């Protein structure tokens, strides 16, 4: 991933003339600034970075889950999105035919008690049009149906008379038939579960699912689901999007929000109980902060499963009785506390416990290792937050003494007035401000709870939809977190995903639609920090009249075979820099063989990646032929460079 076309040699020359064998004009890369970066790798000054430092934060925003990583292709599959009162809006479902041939309306006749709405379809025509009449669902801005792939249909149907239904995957106009099957519904007053596999005979990126018949009569439908068969580990996630996450090697997964957890009003907050159990019984809910319906197929259990699949520690962010517009008085918070304790029993309890048995029945008898919880999201200033917080804190501490609890109140500049293991730190700002914040935690007390920088990003005017400039400021900020990782335990970018059809929040790390995806520069920047968690950090000093535009860090890390000294440098300025890197105190020699450089830059700081050019700004790898304990390199203007110096005969294995 992340390869560039032939022009990459020119970029290498521009950045790394002193150690790359490309031929190009020296005048093109003439440095106007000089700097020295010294690394002290002596063991007595090194420190281990927490194993948990860099992870990911997933929020249901921008259709990141529904119509995103969750692979369900049908939107509003249970007809519940229009609300419990019928008749209701069935969007995005629509009819095939006209009002003289078909009449559809929701009613409250479903066999599922937790989501009672179903769709009644009455066929009015005796001599129906060729192809029949019926209903169709376009999914989330079109279904991606691919030639040769298998799709699994499940739907519940009821009809008083025996009826043949034709279920098809077609183009958006219904003219291209990609797969089709005729299913007979036996006449009965009872609901029937129907299942059908489809193998696509063609590709269409904006397909729809349609259900038609030629027979006059009445048919009811409910819980119509279409899932691709090739989801990640069979757990319901889009494989290609999960692959993007895996590239980051996340050490934790914070979920499911964000503001999604709070809700604009508590009645619309995420409720874990209603997101577990069989998918057919999940009522779904309207996320009133980000303004769309989710059927909660991606629920509490699926998030825990995803964390396990990623090898990441789950961080459960729960509602503490506070939304954007209403709050529960601390005197009445007890039911909310019990609800959270039940959620922890669901995750951690034995298969014989009340809620652990529900988890086991869903297919996971072994507990999930939930060791971190966040008590609310961005609620510190709310009237009842501290009172509610203490109720949750004390109850969880008594029931689960090992769980680390995260406060919403920032403790970076002053001590907290309540107990906590960690505290949230969120920052969304412009690039210059975030670059200047690389030293933010230098002045933070070394005692007390640790910092969890759970949301950071450059946004607004100089961020675009993910600019190079934004990623440079973020990279500089992260070098500061590495340096201060004695008090910063975790950090994650936000938001992680955006569906290109719902750009509610920009920028984001990963952009996708039904069939394409790419990483923004902020995504690729994070890949150069994925080895930092659990590595050894070493002090550096940068000497230059230009040092206010430079940021960096140095770590030693190892893969399955080799050890490396990684020196990362951000040049935030508009001048090229001749940089001398010198290292002392290494317990091994530097080997030019196997040493590499990775460079992110572009000719314009506001350049972005796109579907048409997904690799415009990605780390470009080259051999570091002059790698040594002292070497001279050239940094391009507005660039982020990571130098990996291979270490021979290393003693680092014993130390790390």
The pLDDT tens digits for 29-54 are 567 899 999 999 999 999 999 999 99
Here the tokens at position 199 are 């193998």
Here the tokens at position 476 are 């500089």
87: preceding bond cis by omega (within 30 degrees) = yes
Residues 77, 227: Cα–Cα separation, whole Å = 11
| Other CB atoms within 10 A of residue 351 CB | 14
pLDDT at 2: 39
In angstroms, the Cα distances linking 553 to 224, 454, 479, 600 are 52, 21, 6, 16
pLDDT at 651: 46
| Other CB atoms within 10 A of residue 337 CB | 18
Residues 548, 436: Cα–Cα separation, whole Å = 9
Pairing relation of β-strands 404-407 and 292-294?
unpaired
Exposure b/e, 89-128, CB count within 10 A at least 16 = b: ebebbebbbeeebbebebeeebbbeebbbbbbbebebeeb
H or E, element range at 589: strand 589-601
| Other CB atoms within 10 A of residue 395 CB | 16
pLDDT at 621: 96
Here the tokens at position 288 are 């009133």
Count of helices and strands (H, E) across the chain: 11, 35
**Contacts for 44 with CB less than 8 Å, ≥ 6 apart:** none
Q: Which residues of 240-390 form beta strands (DSSP E)?
A: 252-255, 285-287, 292-294, 313-318, 372-375
pLDDT at 32: 85
| Other CB atoms within 10 A of residue 646 CB | 20
Sign of CA dihedral 357, 361, 366, 371: negative
Residues 584, 596: Cα–Cα separation, whole Å = 19
**Is there a contact between 230 and 242 (Cβ–Cβ < 8 Å)?**
no
User: In the block, which residue shows the tokens 């907050």?
Assistant: 269
Residues 427, 249: Cα–Cα separation, whole Å = 23
> How does DSSP classify residue 426?
E
> How does DSSP classify residue 237?
B
Residues 119, 219: Cα–Cα separation, whole Å = 8
Residues 647, 232: Cα–Cα separation, whole Å = 36
pLDDT digits (tens, 9 = 90+) for 481-517: 999 999 999 999 999 999 999 999 999 999 999 999 9
Whether the model pTM is above 0.85: yes
Residue numbers of the chain with a pLDDT score lower than 50: 1-28, 650-656
Local structure of 233: helix, strand or coil: helix
**Contacts for 127 with CB less than 8 Å, ≥ 6 apart:** none
**Contacts for 636 with CB less than 8 Å, ≥ 6 apart:** 14, 15, 29, 571, 576, 599, 601
> How does DSSP classify residue 101?
T
Pairing relation of β-strands 285-287 and 177-185?
unpaired
Here the tokens at position 402 are 């090992």
pLDDT at 234: 97
Residues 156, 617: Cα–Cα separation, whole Å = 47
**Is there a contact between 466 and 438 (Cβ–Cβ < 8 Å)?**
no
Among 631, 646, 620, residue whose Cα is nearest residue 12: 620
The total number of residues written for the chain in this structure: 656
Backbone angles phi, psi at 343, to 5 degrees: -65, -35
Local structure of 124: helix, strand or coil: coil
pLDDT at 68: 98
Residue-wise DSSP of 46-66: -EEPPTTSB-EE--S-TTSTB
**Is there a contact between 37 and 563 (Cβ–Cβ < 8 Å)?**
no
Here the tokens at position 175 are 């003219």
In angstroms, the Cα distances linking 207 to 90, 138, 176 are 19, 6, 9
In angstroms, the Cα distances linking 638 to 184, 477, 550, 575, 603 are 64, 15, 10, 8, 9
Backbone angles phi, psi at 481, to 5 degrees: -70, -40
Residue 208 buriedness (CB in 10 A; 0-12 / 13-18 / 19+): buried
pLDDT at 649: 61
pLDDT at 431: 97
**Is there a contact between 591 and 561 (Cβ–Cβ < 8 Å)?**
no
Across the chain, which distance is largest between two alpha carbons, in Å? 89
pLDDT at 30: 67
């Amino acid at each position: 991933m992340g390869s560039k076309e032939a022009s990459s040699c020119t970029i290498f020359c521009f950045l790394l003339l002193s150690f790359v064998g490309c031929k190009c004009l020296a005048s093109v890369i003439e440095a106007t600034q000089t700097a020295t970066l010294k690394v002290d790798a002596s063991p007595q000054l090194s420190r281990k970075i927490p194993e948990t430092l860099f992870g990911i934060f997933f929020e249901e925003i921008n259709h990141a889950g529904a119509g995103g990583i969750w692979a369900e292709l049908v939107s509003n599959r249970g007809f519940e999105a229009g609300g419990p009162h019928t008749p209701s809006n069935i969007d995005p479902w629509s009819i095939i035919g006209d009002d003289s041939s078909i009449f559809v309306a929701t009613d409250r006749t479903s066999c599922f008690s937790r989501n009672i709405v179903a769709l009644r379809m009455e066929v009015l025509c005796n001599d129906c049009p060729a192809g029949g009449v019926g209903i169709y669902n376009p999914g989330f801005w079109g279904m991606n149906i691919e030639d040769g792939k298998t799709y699994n249909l499940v739907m519940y149907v009821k009809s008083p008379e025996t009826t043949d239904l034709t279920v098809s995957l077609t183009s958006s106009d219904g003219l291209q038939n990609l797969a089709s099957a005729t299913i007979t519904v036996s006449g009965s007053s009872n609901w029937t579960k129907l299942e059908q596999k489809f193998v696509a005979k063609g590709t269409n990126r904006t397909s729809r699912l349609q259900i038609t018949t030629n027979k006059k009569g009445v048919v009811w439908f409910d819980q119509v689901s279409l899932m691709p068969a090739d989801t990640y580990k069979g757990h319901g996630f889009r494989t290609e999007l999960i692959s993007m996450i895996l590239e980051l090697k996340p050490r934790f997964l914070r979920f499911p929000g964000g503001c999604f957890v709070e809700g604009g009003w508590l009645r619309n907050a995420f409720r874990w109980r209603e997101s577990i159990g069989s998918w057919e019984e999940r009522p779904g809910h309207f996320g009133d902060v980000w303004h769309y319906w989710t059927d909660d197929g991606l629920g509490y259990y699926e998030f825990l499963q995803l964390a396990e699949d990623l090898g990441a520690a789950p961080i459960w962010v729960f509602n503490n009785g506070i939304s954007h517009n209403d709050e529960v008085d601390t005197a009445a918070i007890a039911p909310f506390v019990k609800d959270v304790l039940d959620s922890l029993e669901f995750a951690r309890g034995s298969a014989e416990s009340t809620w652990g048995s529900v988890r086991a029945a869903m297919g996971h008898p072994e507990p999930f290792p939930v060791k971190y919880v966040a008590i609310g999201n961005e609620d510190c200033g709310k009237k009842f937050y501290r009172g509610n917080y203490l109720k949750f804190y004390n109850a969880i501490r008594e029931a689960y003494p090992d769980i680390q609890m995260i406060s919403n109140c920032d403790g970076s500049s002053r001590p907290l007035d309540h107990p906590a293991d960690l505290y949230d730190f969120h920052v969304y700002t412009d690039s210059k401000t975030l670059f200047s914040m690389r030293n933010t935690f230098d002045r933070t007390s070394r005692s007390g709870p640790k910092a969890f920088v759970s949301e950071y990003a450059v946004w607004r005017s100089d961020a675009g939809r993910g600019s190079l400039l934004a990623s440079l400021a973020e990279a500089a900020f992260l070098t500061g977190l590495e340096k201060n990782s004695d008090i910063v335990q975790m950090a994650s970018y936000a938001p992680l995903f955006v569906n290109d059809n719902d750009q509610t929040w920009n920028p984001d790390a990963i952009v996708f639609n039904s069939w394409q995806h790419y990483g923004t520069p902020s995504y690729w920047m994070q890949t150069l920090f994925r080895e930092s968690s659990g590595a050894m950090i070493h002090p550096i000093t940068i000497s230059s009249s230009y040092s206010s535009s430079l940021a960096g860090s140095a770590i030693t890390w190892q893969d399955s075979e080799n050890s490396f000294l990684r020196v990362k440098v951000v040049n935030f300025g508009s001048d090229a820099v001749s940089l001398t890197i010198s290292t002392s105190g290494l317990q091994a020699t530097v080997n030019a063989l196997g040493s590499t450089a990775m460079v992110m830059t572009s000719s314009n700081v506001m350049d972005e990646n796109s579907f048409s050019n997904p690799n415009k700004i990605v780390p470009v790898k080259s051999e570091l032929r002059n790698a040594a304990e002292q070497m001279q390199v050239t940094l391009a203007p507005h660039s982020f460079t990571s130098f990996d110096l291979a270490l021979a005969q290393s003693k680092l294995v014993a130390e790390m």
